[in-house]
Structure 1
Amino acid sequence: MTRGIFIRASLVMAGLSLAGCVTTTTPQQAADLFDCAALDQAVASAPNGFKDIKGRFTDTRLTRSWETDVQAFHNACVITSAQRPDHYVCFGRLQVEDPRGALAAGSEALGQCLGSEWTGTPGDDRVMFSRADTNAVVTLETFINDRGRRMGALSVFQRAADAMPLADEEKGAQ
């Protein structure tokens, strides 16, 4: 019982801290950042392993990937499988240079796309969204690329466990 109360209190505090970081993203700004219809389609296809949105298959020594016409973020989305089960992932530039500001603005826009039934849980340089009636989760992560630009990675996973950050030894094993 105490653990449940602690978890709920932690989630409430996380939601409050996320709300405190976020300013005013209008629906138009959300639509400028994400294609909400494409994101809804990717989320809807998660339970069947994204089979209905998978295109041409490519297999390399390190990863398996499928092209997709479903482009929710910067027209740079694929379905991939490497160290995790099949998942939908998109990469694109976030124009805000402050990492916390970029994540806050991006997560607010993503929350607007997903709708009020989704709950965002912030973490270090990432936010994970979940909804009670689905196992699928949506994440938004920020990072600096090799050119010093603030980037974002939007992902849709089939289950929350698939979305957990990889341990350092798993990252190095690539």
Structure 2
Amino acid sequence: MTRGIFIRASLAMAGLSLAGCVTTSTPQQAADLFDCAALDQAVASAANGFEDIKGRYSDTRLTRSWDTDVQAFHNACVITSAQRPDHYVCFGRMQVEDPRGSLAAGSAALGQCLGNDWTATPGDDRVLFSRAGTDAVVTLETFVNDRGHRMGALSVFQQDADAMPLADEEMGAQ
């Protein structure tokens, strides 16, 4: 609950809008956070269930995952499937000067990377990017990990419905 309020306040302070996303970020900022070519490849691959970028397969009791050579964020990306259909996800540290504005800064860089034809929709603790003519959506979420570091999760989903937040009961909350 506190995280959602904190994120909303950060977004409000940053004045996040699609126009702000595209104009406030420099190409260097986008290049510092994301590999735009790899992100474009992951988005294009969503149409075929990421089959063309799936590598070695791993299966556990909780999830199925595939390694991938397509690394859009911190070289920590996989294709995974657990409570959602197959999706591309990356985790990494958000090293921005203002930790309270990390979602806004990351969203601005992501908007620069994706381009003007993508629309940003801010949520409680994430931003969802969509584009007319494609079913794929891109999300960016930030959170503080157990070591106190500001982290980011960049995801590419095959469809908008796949990107919807999971209800507490679906996540196994008691």
Pick the TM interval, shorter chain: 0.7 to 0.9
Does the alignment pair 1:25 with 2:36?
no
Structure 2 counterpart of 1:169: 169
Q: Distance in 2 between matches of 1:21 and 1:130?
A: 16
Which residue identity does 2:165 align to in structure 1?
P
Does the alignment pair 1:122 with 2:114?
no
CA RMSD between the two structures: 2.2
Structure 1 counterpart of 2:80: 80
Q: CA offsets, 1:67-105, max 9 Å, x none?
A: 000000000000000000000000000023755510000
Structure 2 counterpart of 1:51: 51
Higher relative contact order, chain-length normalized (CA < 8 Å, sep 6+): 2
Deviates more, 1:95-104 or 1:147-156: 95-104
Taking structure 2 as the reference length, what is the TM-score of the superposition? 0.86
Please state how far the C-alpha of 1:24 moved relative to its aligned partner: 3.5
- 8 Å contact 1:97–1:150 — kept in the other structure? no
Taking structure 1 as the reference length, what is the TM-score of the superposition? 0.86
- Ranges in structure 2 where 5+ consecutive residues have no aligned partner: 1-11
Secondary structure in 1 aligned to 2:113? Answer: helix
Q: CA offsets, 1:119-143, max 9 Å, x none?
A: 0000112000000010000000001
Which residue identity does 1:24 align to in structure 2?
T
- Ranges in structure 1 where 5+ consecutive residues have no aligned partner: 1-13
Secondary structure in 2 aligned to 1:138? Answer: strand
Secondary structure in 2 aligned to 1:78? Answer: strand
- 8 Å contact 1:139–1:154 — kept in the other structure? yes
Which residue identity does 2:121 align to in structure 1?
T
Aligned residue pairs: how many? 160
Secondary structure in 1 aligned to 2:40? Answer: helix
CA spacing shift, 1:79–1:48, aligned 2, 3 Å: same
